[in-house]
Structure 1
Amino acid sequence: MAGETGSQPPEGAKPVLASMAEAEVEELPKAIVRRLVKDKLTQVAAGGAEVIVNRDAMAAFAESARIFIHYLSATANDMCKESKRQTINADDVLKALDEMEFPEFVEPLNTSLQEFRNKNAARRSETTQKKAEKRRKIDKDSVPQEQNDAADDGNADED
């Protein structure tokens, strides 16, 4: 029955729905890709004129970005493994960009990374301050109660 067409896929083949779902998971968010492309093209365009990008071009941008991210991730992972580590860090990504022959991206990425770290450090210090103030307030509120309890204990001894 070799010539018979069945509904079962050949051995090792993925079902169509499963492969479509995997492809959707790997896609970059279209709104973000569109915003990035339009922002960059508007900066480049003469006089800040709006540039129209058709659907196929936008899909090409998204797919190109996805492939670049996969390639960068794999290269950074190799850098990480060479250092006998399991966690990719920012230095691995920067080294991977150099190895992939994209050194022009290293400096802008380093600048963005530093800005991100500074912003998060400020945010963390604000959060730490708020937590400390909250603890002080809780401690302050509980101290009078403890003093009252101690005073009650002292009065109990007198009875």
Structure 2
Amino acid sequence: MGDRVEIPDEELTIPRAAINKMIKEILPNIRVANESRELILACCTEFIHLLASESNDVCAQQQKKTISPEHILAALDKLGFGDYRADAEAVLQDCKEVAAKKKKHSTRLENLGIPEEELLRQQQELFAKVCIFQLILN
């Protein structure tokens, strides 16, 4: 694995609110000390860095420039976390389904990035021009 670049801690961590929410969902009736929350946060951050670094190595070995889900799954295996592969694949499938639904519901109109009110105004302007043009021809 390559050398790690040191970045200030505030840029490296998962938001504390996200960790607190996960802890609360998993352990609703148990109090967790702040030091324990910090340790969980540090472990999660380190795991993500380790997985990202190994995924990058797998990607580079395949002479690719973009880390794909397959690189991450291979990195899980190489790091000894193959037991998590099925869960990771299930999450990947869920993400693909959500993306497909979003794409399916997306229309060309939405992709223009122009507010609906502005498009309606432009349409009315064009109708007015057509009416004037028709009056001139008749």
Same fold (TM > 0.5): yes
Between Structure 1 and Structure 2, whose CA radius of gyration is higher?
Answer: 1
In the TM superposition, what is the alpha-carbon distance from 1:37 to its structure 2 partner?
2.2
**Cα distance, 1:82 vs structure 2:** 0.9
Structure 1 residue 101: Cα displacement: 1.1
How far residue 61 of structure 1 moved from its aligned partner, in angstroms, is 0.4
1:79 maps onto 2:58 in alignment? yes
**1:60 and 2:39 correspond:** yes
TM-score of the two chains, using structure 1 as the length reference: 0.67
Q: Which has the higher contact order (CA 8 A, sep 6+)?
A: 2
Helix, strand or coil at the partner of 1:52: coil
What does 1:35-50 correspond to in 2, within 5 Å? 35-42=21-28, 50=29
Q: Percent identity?
A: 20
Point out where structure 1 has 5 or more consecutive residues left out of the alignment.
Answer: 1-18, 43-49
In structure 1, give the amino acid aligned to 2:11.
Answer: V
Alignment of 1:84-103 (within 5 A): 84-103=63-82
When residues 121 and 130 of structure 1 are mapped into structure 2, their CA distance, relative to the original with a 3 A threshold, is farther
Deviation string, structure 1 residues 22-62 (Cα, Å, up to 9, x no partner): 122212211111211232234xxxxxxx0111011111100
| Equivalent residue number for residue 112 of structure 1 | 91
RMSD: 2.6
One-letter code aligned to 2:98:
K
Structure 1 residue 154 corresponds to structure 2 residue 137:
yes
State how many pairs are aligned. 126
Large movers: runs of 4+ above 6 Å: none
Rounded Cα–Cα distance in structure 2 between residues aligned with 1:131 and 1:142: 20
State the one-letter code of the partner of 2:25: D
Equivalent position amino acid for 1:125 in 2: K
Unaligned runs of 5+ in 2: 1-5
Q: Which residue identity does 1:61 align to in structure 2?
A: I
